A and B are shown apart, each in its own frame.
Chain A
Amino acid sequence: MLSLPKNFETFNEARQKSFMALYQAKERGKKIIGTFCSYTPVEIIHAAGAIPVGLCGKSEQGIAEAEAILPKTICPLIKASYGMAITDQCPYFYFSDGILAETTCDGKKKMYELMGKIKPVHVMNLPQSKDQALAIDAWTEEVKRAAKFLEDLLHVSITPEKLHDAIVYRNRLRRAIVDLYEVAKIKPSPVSGYELSTVAESADFHFTDDDLIAKIEKTTRDFKARTRNDGANRPRVLITGCPNAGVRDKIIKRLEELGADYVCADTCSGPRVQKFMIDENADPYRAIAERYLKINCSVMTPNEARFDDIKDLVKEYQVDGVIEIVLHGCHTFAVEAYTTMNIIQNELSMPYMRLDTDFSQSDGGQIETRLGAFIEMMIAA
């Protein structure tokens, strides 16, 4: 039976509102599947008649509660995600019918075992390398196995037609999101990167029946029509590394307030991932698997293509400097940061700065000094 969390009365108005909106969507018969990674093939969720929702924690909330169970040293994104889940504070997790998870990093895959005690969780086995023997075959089978999980969970049948429609729809949506991101290719960018990325990521939380793609396309046109007078001398920054939604206010907002423009993200929500389309004319499961295996995340080894992508993005978006965000406890991006640094500084002769941080506000002052110094460095370069 549909019900609200026991602690609902203690939530602030905004949180109560989003709980109520989801409650009503569920009452209308919507199904929700939670996801935590850009490797999760959302097409099968669509084809199963459900809405995929990204459940990654984006703030300090829930971290203290999660640390009672998870080690303190694990990355803040995992702690926040799990903490929001166990405290019933996240309406999307609370109302999700199940979770489609993946074995991306060690912290996440072990956390999912605990999360599985609260919700139906299916964990897809992601290959650790695109080049490994049978990687694409194994991953295709994993996509099929995940589809089976959804069929059983939601009592639906994922027909080839539904899957094809989902692929076509998600390709169109991705194209629209890439077009939106590419507004920032205009120099100077007519829109702040903070605003642009917030709008782009809100596409992950769409529960109404209006046309999401049309909405995004309209936003893109509106953004392009804007003009800005202050942008000419602002250095343009590419942000790479770990998912940055949890530090968006602390780093991205501050960066722009201090005088730079955030024009491009080489992260799992940015254009580097959105640009890969699915072949609409091939075998759907295989085509889905191929598309997702193209994603360049530091969990893959080797992960050379990520650096080719960064070099392309730096050119396409006419970037003046690169900031790498490494969340505490994220070993894979922390190690790769050494390679990023060498490529940006030595090959591209461009300012590069690495920020190691978490979702707390305690290092706001230090980060501000670093951001300010980095902007001065880009201007002097």
Chain B
Amino acid sequence: MLFAGIDIGSTAAKAVLMSEDKREIVARNLMPSGWNSRETAERLLSWLMSLGYSRDDIRIIATGYGRVSVPYADSTLTEITCHGKGAAFLGGDDLTVIDIGGQDTKVIIIKNSRVIDFVMNDKCSAGTGKFLEVMANRMGLTLPEFFALAEHGKDIKISSMCTVFAESEIVSLMGLGTPREDIACGAVGSVVSKVATLVSKKASSGKYYLTGGFCESPLLIRKLSETLGSEVFTTPDARFAGAIGAALLGK
């Protein structure tokens, strides 16, 4: 029996297939969640089946906000439990997991590879991936272009926490002729400071560990480490943490 985890987030859908002993990742897949979670879930199932196994060989556990749209899942779990488990698999048994998602950000405290506490951002999108996506869009850039630009920027202060207000603030800054790289750098700084506030709400455990789509954004990782005063660890597989955790929790 193999174990698959499907994590349908607000922006990206992730799937991993894990070996029978749950020690290694056999295959992984990432695609945009799109506008129809159910369709995305079906595409991930086709992918799983294309790997050469039969449906009966695999236990499938769904997570993420779209988990209810995975009709073929054997069970579902919340993304908090799964991210915690997946991060512990990647980063160690005691961690303060920082997951910056497409529409929410969470801090999960892991002790002995178990979730003992967590906190999520409130209903607004400040401090989430959505914030940077909106800013990049406003500047006519893709997220990779936005980050590449931000690397060369000076840290300016974006004072609005609210995504909608920050967008207007950026429009004014562009109007004033502020260099785009500085604006991009400032926007990353805004997310980092909001995330750091969320982290400070909980007593940390072990090292900081970043999961989610920004695990390959050196600028964000560097700024987050500076603000928290301690190195933030991650790995390219950390964007699959939720899916990995789901697979690990399959029975």
B7 / chain A contacts, CB cutoff of 8 Å:
none
**A118 close to chain B: CB less than 8 A:** no
**B116 contacts the other chain (Cβ, under 8 Å)?**
yes
A373 touches B123 (CB 8 A): no
A366 surroundings in chain B (CB, below 8 A)? 104, 120, 122-123
Q: How far is the CA of A370 from the CA of B78 in the complex (A)?
A: 8
A365-B65, A366-B104, A369-B65 are contacts. A377–B120 as well, Cβ < 8 Å?
A: no
Q: Using known A-B contacts A376-B115, A377-B115, A380-B115, determine if residue A370 contacts B120 with beta carbons closer than 8 Å.
A: yes
Asked if A373 and B122 sit within 8 Å, CB to CB, the answer is no
B211: Cβ under 8 A from any A Cβ: no
CB contact list, A356-374 vs B, under 8 A: 356, 362-363, 365-366, 369-370, 372-373
Q: Smallest Cβ distance from A352 to chain B, in angstroms? A: 8
Q: Which of B112-127 contact A (CB under 8 A)?
A: 114-118, 120, 122-123
A373-B80 contact, Cβ under 8 Å, with A356-B122, A365-B65: yes
A54 interface hit (Cβ, 8 Å) = no
Is A128 engaged at the interface, CB distance under 8 Å to the other chain? no
Which of chain A's residues 310-333 have a Cβ closer than 8 Å to chain B?
Answer: none
Number of interface residues of A (CB under 8 A): 17
For the complex formed, measure the closest distance between the CB of A77 and the CB atoms of chain B, giving whole angstroms: 19
Check: A345 CB closer than 8 A to any chain B CB. yes
Contact bitstring A87-102, B, C-beta under 8 A = 1, else 0 = 0000000000000000
Residue of B nearest to A377 (CB): B115
Q: How many residues of B contact A (CB 8 A)?
A: 15
B167 beta carbon closer than 8 Å to chain A: no
Q: At the interface, yes or no: A107 with Cβ under 8 Å from chain B?
A: no
Where chain B touches its partner, the secondary structure class is: mixed
- Let me know if B79 is at the binding interface, CB within 8 A: yes
- Is A231 in contact with chain B by the CB < 8 A criterion? no
Residues 13-41 of chain B, each 1 if its beta carbon lies under 8 Å from chain A, else 0: 00000000000000000000000000000
Evaluate contact between B77 and A377: CB separation under 8 angstroms.
no
Residue of B nearest to A370 (CB): B120
Does B128 make an interface contact (CB < 8 A)?
no
Chain A residues whose CB sits within 8 angstroms of the CB of B104 once the complex forms? 366
Q: Mark A329-363, 1 if CB is under 8 A from B, else 0.
A: 00000000000000001000001110010000011
Interface contact A373-B65, CB-CB below 8 Å:
no
Whole-angstrom CA separation of A190 from B223 in the bound complex: 53
Q: Are B120 and A369 in contact (CB under 8 A)?
A: yes
- Cα A370 to Cα B122 in complex, Å, equals 11
* Chain B residues positioned under 8 Å from A373 (CB to CB): 78-81, 115, 118
The verdict on A369 contacting B123 (CB below 8 Å), with A351-B116, A377-B115 known, is no
Does B79 contact A369, Cβ atoms closer than 8 Å? yes
A42 to chain B, nearest CB (A): 37
Name the one of A345, A356, A369 contacting B80, with C-beta atoms under 8 angstroms.
A369
Contacts of B114 in A (CB 8 A): 380-381
CA distance A380 to B120 in the complex (A): 20
**In the assembled complex, how far is the CB of residue A234 from the closest CB belonging to chain B, in whole angstroms?**
17
Q: Chain A residue with minimal CB distance to B115?
A: A377
Residue of A352, A362, A370, A381 contacting most chain B CB atoms (<10 Å): A370
Say yes or no: A376 contacts B122, CB within 8 Å: no
Question: With A and B bound together, what is the CA distance between A3 and B115 in angstroms?
Answer: 58
Q: Is the CB of A376 within 8 A of B78?
A: yes
Please indicate which of the listed interface residues B78, B117, B122 has the most CB atoms of chain A within 10 Å of its own CB. B78
CA distance A352 to B116 in the complex (A): 9
In the bound complex, how far is the Cα of B115 from the Cα of A351, in angstroms?
A: 10
Nearest to B121 among chain A residues (CB) is A366
Q: Which residue of A lies closest to B79 (CB)?
A: A369
Most buried by B among A351, A372, A373, A380: A373
- A66 to chain B minimum Cβ distance, whole angstroms, is 21
Question: B: which residues have CB within 8 A of A?
Answer: 65, 77-81, 104, 114-118, 120, 122-123
Task: Show 11 residue pairs from A and B whose CB-CB distance is below 8 angstroms, ordered by the A residue.
Answer: A345-B116, A345-B117, A351-B117, A369-B79, A370-B120, A372-B78, A373-B118, A376-B77, A376-B80, A376-B115, A377-B81
> With A345-B117, A376-B78 given, can you name 10 additional A-B contacts, CB distance below 8 Å?
A345-B116, A356-B122, A362-B123, A363-B122, A366-B122, A370-B80, A373-B80, A373-B118, A376-B81, A377-B118
Interface residues of A (CB under 8 A from B): 345, 351-353, 356, 362-363, 365-366, 369-370, 372-373, 376-377, 380-381
Top 10 closest A-B pairs, CB basis?
A373-B80, A372-B78, A373-B78, A376-B81, A363-B123, A377-B115, A369-B78, A380-B114, A373-B81, A366-B123
